[in-house]
Amino acid sequence: MGISKLNEKEYYRKIYGGWLGKNIGGTLGYPVEGRMELLDLTYYPQLSEGPLPNDDLDLQIVWLHALEQYGARLTATELGQEWMEHVFFPFDEYGYGLANLRRGLIPPVAGWFNNPFADCMGSPIRSEIWAMIAPGCPGVAAYYAYQDAIVDHAGGEGVYGEMFFAAIESAAFFESDRDQLIQIGLTYIPDESRTAKAVNALLEWHKEGRTWTEARELILEHHGHPNFTDAPQNIAFTLLGWLYGEDFGDAILKAVNCGYDTDCTAATLGAILGIILGPENLPERWLKPVGDRIAVNAPIKGFPIPQTLDELTTRTLTIGKEVAAVWNIPIEFGQEKSTTELQPELLEFYDPRWLWTYSFQSNRYLLPKGTKNNIGLELIIDYGNQGPSIGKGQSKDIAVTLINRSTEAWEGLLRLTVPEGWSGLTEEKLDLKPNQEISWTLQVTANGEMKAYYPLQLEVVRNHDNHFWNSETVPFYLVSASHWKLNGPENNGWQEAIIPGNRIDFADVLQTSDAGLYRASTTLYNPEAKQIRLITATASPVKAYLNGKLIINDDNETDCMPAFHRAIPSKLVEIKLPAGEHLLEIEVMKGEEPLELYVLPVAVKNTKTPGPYYYYTDVLFT
């Protein structure tokens, strides 16, 4: 196998250029984020002392810390642990992912379950760190991007968007041709994904000679979404700036002037161009206002944050060398001149596309515990379409699979421990030959006590010579479902429903989608008095009553925005909620459009710690 060479100064230069371009683009786009009209910026709309803080860079600094803590073999599990410790953003998918992690769930289930924002831009904006620690090795960069994205985007377009950008940026350490880089990125996402379709459509429109504004309108017509953070349209806007831009400044301006998630589009394009060009080739006009500084949002905390781009670059480079050594990537760092083009040995070194086949409804564990290479026992826990939720008194099937990847037989028992008062399988005999797998369907039944989450445990007991030898335990969690009574426009009586998450699906429960008045009723349990933001996220007119008192009254059609921090103000209320049980009744008037309703109890903006608008996992719908 041939060895590619990467000059250490050149490696530093390209990493620094990428981080600098990221800072420039984020500072340009942040002040106009969320504006959905065609813009006409010609320069930074807001200047301060240095760059503006932005989650695009914030989260990658957390991932750098994770790499320094856990090393090159880290997975989504370790990234989830880092998120709980150091990231307190409530934004969209971030808020839902964090709520799931806090209840004991792990990725990918934590990133999929009850998450209406899995198709959004929160993960594609975190791609650069993986490219920089795997320079010229797009498959490895895309693998890390997948591990990252499933923390809060599992099952959605956000996963493909991050894999796409990470592959492009990794290849850009050796390859500068724009069209070739885009094609490299496309090889790491499914052709049938919305992201691939939007990118390929844009390439065709550009080839046809459409103007950039015409291309923007076509993107919105064929691939647009009312949520400004939806990934496929914004990824296309990022590439639009690259395809139509005459130089660095013109490219990031065109991306921003498309509107929508502008800090993300400009920051990612700025990073790509910064890697390709290096910092010395970025215009002074754009460089001077941001300088070498780093600005980080307050909810990112609890570890040593780099103070300058130089420090960030040096620490990134150090990890990159470790990654190359651990993966045995055919790349050599030194003082010699870098290889001048991307070698097939690097391009074909690793293919992460097998990850597309993994179910986001299940979690995988490698045994013995702590191992990273799948050469022992592989345990798969599949929660099914309803996810890891269970209602009081409800029975739930959990599919468990054990695969013996080792060269030795595993004999013994599989044991399941459930919460006190529950029923479920106690043990099954285990006899697994090498390369054999066995599956069970474990049914558990909850008692009548509701909690935010429920700890369970699988124990794999291993015997030798018909005697106990050792055991491996795998804790996992179920979370509390919501109990509601629902009524539809035909008023055929109330139907009881157990709802897996926060979305009430009237059509599924009542088997009707007729226009008219829909009603939902539950007992809301609050363990201690607190200030609460109660959100009834729906596009339809809605009323909500708490203990018979009208607390929300909105007769208007609006967007349906089930975000903790940016819900429609007329469809929420902030109140001091006493401890105890409260009758919550909701009325929604459905028109011709499909009916969506999310009921969300979250914190208010001003909290003591750790941050605003986080989800109250202890508030239950009983």
Measured in degrees and rounded to the nearest 5, phi and psi for residue 479 equal: -115, 160
Neighbour-count burial for 544-571, b at 16+ CB within 10 Å, e otherwise: bbbeeeebbebeeebebbbbbbebbeeb
Distance CA 113, CA 318 (A): 36
Kindly tell me the burial class for residue 607, based on how many C-beta atoms sit within 10 Å of its own C-beta (0-12, 13-18, 19 or more): middle
Query: What are the phi and psi torsion angles at 6 (to 5°)?
Result: -130, 110
56 token code pair = 């695009």
Q: Give the separation between CA 222 and CA 236, rounded to whole angstroms.
A: 11
First to last CA, the chain: 62
User: What is the token pair recorded at 265?
Assistant: 């589009």
Omega prior to 344 cis, within 30 of 0 = no
Helix axes 212-223, 194-208, angle to 10 degrees: 150
Cα-to-chain-centroid distance, residue 434: 35
CB 157 within 8 A of CB 119: yes
Residues 136, 174: contact at Cβ < 8 Å?
A: yes
CA distances to 66, 68, 132, 162, 372 from 71, in Å: 8, 6, 15, 21, 11
Extract the tokens encoding 546.
């708490």
Interatomic CA distance for residues 585 and 494, integer angstroms: 13
- The size of the chain, in residues, is 622
Query: Which region, left, alpha or beta, applies to residue 570 given φ > 0 means left and ψ of -120 to 50 means alpha?
Result: alpha
The SS3 of residue 602 is strand
**Could you give the CA distance from residue 390 to residue 261 in angstroms, rounded to a whole number?**
36
Tell whether residue 292 is among the known ligand binding residues. no
Long-range contact pairs involving 416-420 (C-beta distance under 8 Å, separation at least 24): 416/442, 416/444, 416/456, 416/457, 416/458, 416/459, 417/456, 417/457, 417/458, 417/459, 418/444, 418/456, 419/446, 419/447, 419/454, 419/455, 419/456
The 8-class DSSP code of residue 151 comes to H
How many other CB atoms sit within 10 Å of the CB of residue 502? 21
Measured CA to CA, the distance from residue 107 to residue 78 in angstroms comes to 10
Please enumerate, by residue number, every residue annotated as part of a binding site: 261, 263
Residues annotated within a binding site for Mg(2+):
261, 263
